[in-house]
Amino acid sequence: MALAAALNVRVPASADALAAIARQYESAGAPIVLDNCEHVLEASRTTVQKLIGLCPGLRFLATSREPLRVPGEIVVRVPQLGLPASGEALTRESLLRSDAARLFVTRAMNARGGFKLDSAQTALVADIVRKLDGLPLAIELAAASAGVMDLTEIAARLDQRLSLPAGGAEGHHRTLRATMDWSYDLLEMPQQVVFASLAVFRGGWTLEAAESVINSRRALTRASAAELLTRLFEKSLISVESTESGVRYSMLETVREYALDRLGEAVWAPETRRRHAEWCLALAEAADEALKTREQLAWLTRLDAEHANMWAALNWAIDEARDAEIAARLIGAKRVFWQRRGHLREGAEITSRALALAGVGALASRTRGGLLLCAGMCAFFQARYRDARANIEAALDAFGKAGDLSGQANALIGLAQIAMYHDEYALAETYAQQALGHWTAVGDTWGIATAHSTRGYAVGRMASTDANTAAMGEAFIRAVEGFEACGDRFGLGAALNGLGGAALHTESHAEAEGYYQRSIRIHRELEDEEWVSRGLNNLGICARGRGDIPRALAYFEEVLEIRQRIGALFGIATLQYNVGDAVAALGDHTQALIRMRESVRLNLGYNDLHGMAQALAGIAAIWLDEGERAGVAARLLAFSAPHLGYPGPIAGGSEHLELENLIAHARAALGDEVFAVEWAAGAALDAASAAALGFS
């Protein structure tokens, strides 16, 4: 009778209400609308089935969090409202092209008569509707608050979005939490347990991940994870997306916030979080080996998808569980991925927090070594060379105590990279040879190729002799062969970049560019911006060598932007010099001095004497070209000369100073006697004094 009354159907005394509805709507052609069926799902299903039995031509439009499951039903899932485009400057017009933003602005105007959307509020509205996931009810509730709060206050309170007041709303729609409570109470107990458990995931999850985290014993059910996920999907509490790598599930952040609250109430929450962390650890450790194989691109994609989950697991292990074992193993396994994807600042920060845990000292030597190696490599890529060397030396010691030859070899390669940034090329080659011995002993094809590649870079920075050039080329050829054998395209790209440097040693610019282009293509495929930037820098060096200064400058400035964005600071000083060298060639000495002095400042901080000498010689070249300060220029050249004993291109610097010509220029400007005095004074300078002279 209630349905008949709602539809304005008159039902004669003692007559069947459903039959009366069927008779009236049989010829009407209009659908019957049933709203919020999830709260009376069984009754709605029975009513629809009976009415269709009485009148097969009847049509219904039902809204519900889950299907009615009647024959002929067509399910149409209503997505959240469209959000403002991200990654572009928003205007009032572009904002209001978003359904979510238009709804918010309309309701805010209703709540506050004087509400106006100006340019200052545009970004705030976009932020609000994004944080509310485009959910119409959430947007309605937030906009209703505009009557008593300004937009800044509303945005600041969205971390408690579930408690947003509903203004004039009534009953179960007074807050988002009340709405979620109602939906949650409709779940069966096993579904409630699974719903809360899934809140541990950040950024979504796969069926495999859910199976690892869901404890069927806790849920008191024999239903499979797939069945339980299907039930939650049908009730619109989770979303499903088909990707290239398979099906992926997720929750809207608003729904996840509610599920997290429910998880926090459960005594089994710590167990669920531990299961999540252990699943992340197993995945990371499997990926660590796979990243060296032909499967590396697929694994990079998978790790990209699980990136937020990995951070959540690490934060839990460090901040809540204080579990040094899980934190250290997970960080050790993530080192290579962080380097490939440029997560260097975040990696350094979280590794530092893990090292502060009380249990680190008691870890197994191999586990502690992995943590220290990651700390060292993150420090290296941020140009904190002293910290890098200390941590990697400690890692080498820990791996040695564990008898882990592969771990020792990885640490030696890290030390070789640091040595090369301190002009210690012979030491770097020694480290690479030691690593080669360890990896040869365990038969590691990937490791052997890595050692050859590292040796190639070390030898390439030594004095330019026929023997060194030949050894450099041979090392990179063997590295290419090894990486092709094991399928590591990253390593292959790095070795091809090295072959480009070998070609530059013989001034074969076209051949070098070919190698660099191949290397860049590979690293772009792998989305490895750090190594893409190395290749682009070397293309700039080729352009500089051919005299195409504008093209070289464009390359260098692009590389500088990439490195600053991803936090790869270790090459910034060289790039500042490269840019300065290029703009000096274009005649802008003022800008060139600014860039070269910045290179001096950075290199002095890094204790990179070669890089500093390179920039100081560049400053000297400018002063000599201007016909000024020849004596100071001679002193700078005297300090720089011992540190500029290699030809340079493979090191990443566009070193076209022709040191001997500069020295001859200074001698001619000063005369032999004065030049000898200035040269002796410059040769006696320490690094700090030489840097100060360059700034004078």
Residue range 288-294: mean pLDDT, rounded: 93
Same-domain status, 194 and 220: yes
Same domain, 291 and 262: no
pLDDT at position 654, please? 38
**Over the stretch 326-354, which tens digit does the pLDDT of each residue have?**
999 999 999 999 988 888 889 999 999 99
Contact 25, 8 (CB under 8 A): no
Res. 128 pLDDT band, cuts 50 70 90? confident
Q: Which domain holds residue 251?
A: 189-266
Would residue 478 count as lying in a domain?
A: no
In a domain, 48, yes or no: yes
Q: How many C-beta neighbours within 10 Å does residue 657 have?
A: 19
What the block records as the tokens of 10 is: 């008159």
Question: Is 31 in the same domain as 8?
Answer: yes
**Shared-domain flag, residues 165 and 212:** no
Output the pLDDT for position 170.
Answer: 44
For the chain, give the number of residues.
Answer: 696
- CA 612, CA 597: separation in Å to the nearest integer? 9
User: What DSSP character marks residue 465?
Assistant: -
Whole-number Å distance between alpha carbons of 2 and 421: 82
Residue 376 · residue 388 · CB < 8 Å: yes
In whole angstroms, give the CA distance from residue 563 to residue 536: 11
> Are both 261 and 288 inside the same structural domain?
no
C-alpha span between 370 and 378 (Å, rounded): 12
- Structural domain ending residue among the three candidates 354, 375, 403: 403
Is residue 276 classed as helix, strand or coil in its secondary structure?
helix
CB 35 within 8 A of CB 68: no
Paired with 303 in beta bridges are none
Q: CATH number, domain at 398?
A: 1.25.40.10
Tokens of 549: 């200064």
What value does the mean pLDDT take over residues 605-614?
85
Please check whether residue 602 is in contact with residue 565, taking contact to mean a CB–CB distance below 8 angstroms: no
* Residue 569 Cα distances to 105, 327, 375, 379, angstroms: 43, 26, 15, 10
How does residue 647 score in pLDDT terms, banded at 50, 70 and 90?
Answer: very low
Phi and psi at residue 72, to the nearest 5°: 85, 0
**Residues 573 and 639 placed together within one structural domain of the fold:** yes
Number of domain units in the chain: 5
Instruction: Please tell me the distance from the alpha carbon of residue 669 to that of residue 661, in angstroms, as a whole number.
Output: 12
Q: How far apart are CA 55 and CA 291, in angstroms?
A: 62
Give the model's confidence band at 218: pLDDT under 50 very low, under 70 low, under 90 confident, else very high. Answer: low
Contact by Cβ (8 Å): 472, 502: yes
Mean pLDDT of all residues in 362-386: 93
pLDDT at 645: 61
CB proximity list for 137: less than 8 A, separation 6 or greater: 173, 176, 179
Encoded tokens for 393: 């030396």
* Among candidate residues 342, 376, 403, the one where a domain is terminated: 403
Locate 685 and state its tokens: 């300078």
501, 512 contact by CB (below 8 A): yes
Q: What is the pLDDT of residues 490-535, one digit of tens each?
A: 999 999 999 999 988 888 888 999 999 999 999 998 888 888 999 9
Find the radius of gyration of the CA atoms of the chain.
33
pLDDT > 50? residue 651: no
Is pLDDT larger for residue 657 or for residue 542?
542
Tens-digit pLDDT profile for residues 423-453: 788 999 999 999 999 999 999 999 999 999 9
Specify if 545 maps to a domain: no
Q: Is 226 left (phi over 0), alpha (psi -120 to 50) or beta?
A: alpha
Strands 32-34, 60-62: pairing is parallel
How many beta carbons lie within 10 A of that of residue 671, not counting itself? 10
| Helix, strand or coil, per DSSP, at residue 356 | coil
Check whether residue 232 and residue 289 sit in a common domain: no
